[in-house]
Amino acid sequence: MYQLLRAIDYMHRNGIFHRDVKPENVLIKDDVLKLADFGSCRSIHSRAPYTEYISTRWYRAPECLLTDGYYSFKMDIWSVGCVLFEVMCLYPLFPGSNEVDQISKIHDIIGTPDPSILDKLKNKTRGINFNFPPKKGSGIEKLMPHAPRDCIDLIYKMCTYDPDERLTARQALKHSYFKELRFVIL
């Protein structure tokens, strides 16, 4: 995961976001991870709206599901959080069967966001009904009781509903979950 975040950080610092981070696009040989399939990449500096149907649904950030293409490089971070969960648990975090079910699965686990967050997203859509019933969410920790607290915290911070509050790759690399690795990996 540290190597994956380093790859994402490198891309973002160089003005590119991947837009399709998922386990199938993560290649590992020996101790080296490589991110693959750059066919969906976009420039961070290009202007939204972007393609609406992007990223594999299970790894798609809420802003990709709920807006008409108004998302940013932070969508990659959401996807990395979903991949981290899947690596730890061996099953996907939000396996929605369609876009409506996808949002429902997100709300079931992390809860319905504050109305102010939904209002920000409403301004970037052509009329999707955002009247979601309030839900607390079961919590990620309930799904992975075996995981270290730092791991769960990192997933929450990468899978923050509001992209403005979501970690950057650089911030994720500095998270306490990777504390020991930072001294080992150059």
Active-site positions? Answer: 20
- Please count the other Cβ atoms lying within 10 Å of the Cβ belonging to residue 27: 11
Collapse the DSSP code of 82 into the 3-class scheme (helix H, G, I; strand E, B; otherwise coil) and give the result.
helix
Buried b (16+ CB within 10 A) or exposed e, 63-89: bbbbbeebbbbbbbbbbbbbbbbbebe
Taken in order 104, 110, 115, 117, the sign of the CA dihedral is: negative
Distance CA 94, CA 84 (A): 12
CB contact at 8 A, 8 and 35: yes
Cβ-count burial of 120 within 10 angstroms (0-12 exposed, 13-18 middle, 19+ buried)?
middle
**Which letter does DSSP use for residue 142 in this model?**
H
